[in-house]
């Protein structure tokens, strides 16, 4: 069995932000910038939760007759 195939690099996931190879320092991102972008996504996402559109269904079109 030939043991010449040496895998020095562990399979790393690409940066979820820009798809560049991630670096260990900012894993799983490629840079601090992308890490911050991801953090910003989470923070802004908290404010971007869509309101329940179903609430609008409770309109007052019911005729109380
Ligand atoms: Zn990146």
Integer angstrom CA distances of residue 54 from 46, 62, 63: 20, 16, 20
Domain total in the chain: 1
d(CA 40, ligand 1 centre) in Å: 14
d(CA 63, ligand 1 centre) in Å: 57
Q: What is the CATH number of the domain that holds 22?
A: 3.30.50.10
Given a contact cutoff of 8 angstroms between Cβ atoms, the answer to whether 15 and 23 are in contact is no
User: Which has more pLDDT, 43 or 4?
Assistant: 43
* Dist. CA 43–CA 16, nearest whole Å: 16
Domain contains 1: no
Q: Is 64 left (phi over 0), alpha (psi -120 to 50) or beta?
A: beta
For 9-61, how does the pLDDT look when each residue is reduced to its tens digit (9 = 90+)? 666 689 999 999 999 899 999 999 999 999 898 887 765 556 665 555 566 66
């Amino acid at each position: 069995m030939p043991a010449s195939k040496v895998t020095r690099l562990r399979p790393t996931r690409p940066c979820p932000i820009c798809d560049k190879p991630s670096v260990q320092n900012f894993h799983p991102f490629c840079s601090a910038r992308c890490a911050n972008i991801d953090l910003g996504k989470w923070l802004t996402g908290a404010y971007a939760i869509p309101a329940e559109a179903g609430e609008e269904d409770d309109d007052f079109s019911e005729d109380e007759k």
